Amino acid sequence: MSCGGFYSVDSLRGVWIVVVDADPRGRRALVDILTYCGALVTPVASGREALDVMRQVKPDVLVITSAEDLAADFLPRVRSLKPEEGGVVAAIAIGRSLEGDAARARGFQAHLRTPLDPWELCRTVSNLMSVP
């Protein structure tokens, strides 16, 4: 998967990710990073939009910025879904306000601090996809 400290352009091939970020520039940056590594990415601006997307197709991973705000409302709604509806989807929190243990207590599988290391994001997604 890795190639000299960098992830190859196909290391996340076939992984479908929903990126939830209210900031258009941040959302675009996350999409660029993840698609560079081969992921299929659907960007949305809110938890409500993410739930609408999840009604259509079940993603493999949620990448959520401003996780403190969304963890209070959006992630519990996701976790209340049946497994076949996406209730057990892996979720990554990105931000400064929600730390690792607090993020896991709120239902996230991983937490990444900003400023974000793009390769750490790709490694984290890859690691989550290799966990049964």
User: Residue 58 has which token pair?
Assistant: 């079940």
Residue 58 CB-density burial (10 A; 0-12 exposed, 13-18 middle, 19+ buried)? middle
Parallel, antiparallel, or unpaired for β 2-3 and 6-7?
A: antiparallel
Task: Give the pLDDT score at 100.
Answer: 72
pLDDT averaged over every residue in the chain: 87
All structural domains of the chain: 2-126 (3.40.50.2300)
Angle between helices 24-36 and 118-130 (to 10 degrees): 60
Q: Tell me the pLDDT tens digit for each residue of 69-87.
A: 676 788 899 999 999 999 9
Residue 21, pLDDT > 70, answer yes
Looking at the chain, the whole-number percentage of residues with pLDDT higher than 90 is 68
Task: Give the pLDDT score at 96.
Answer: 78
Q: Tell me the pLDDT tens digit for each residue of 86-100.
A: 999 999 999 877 777
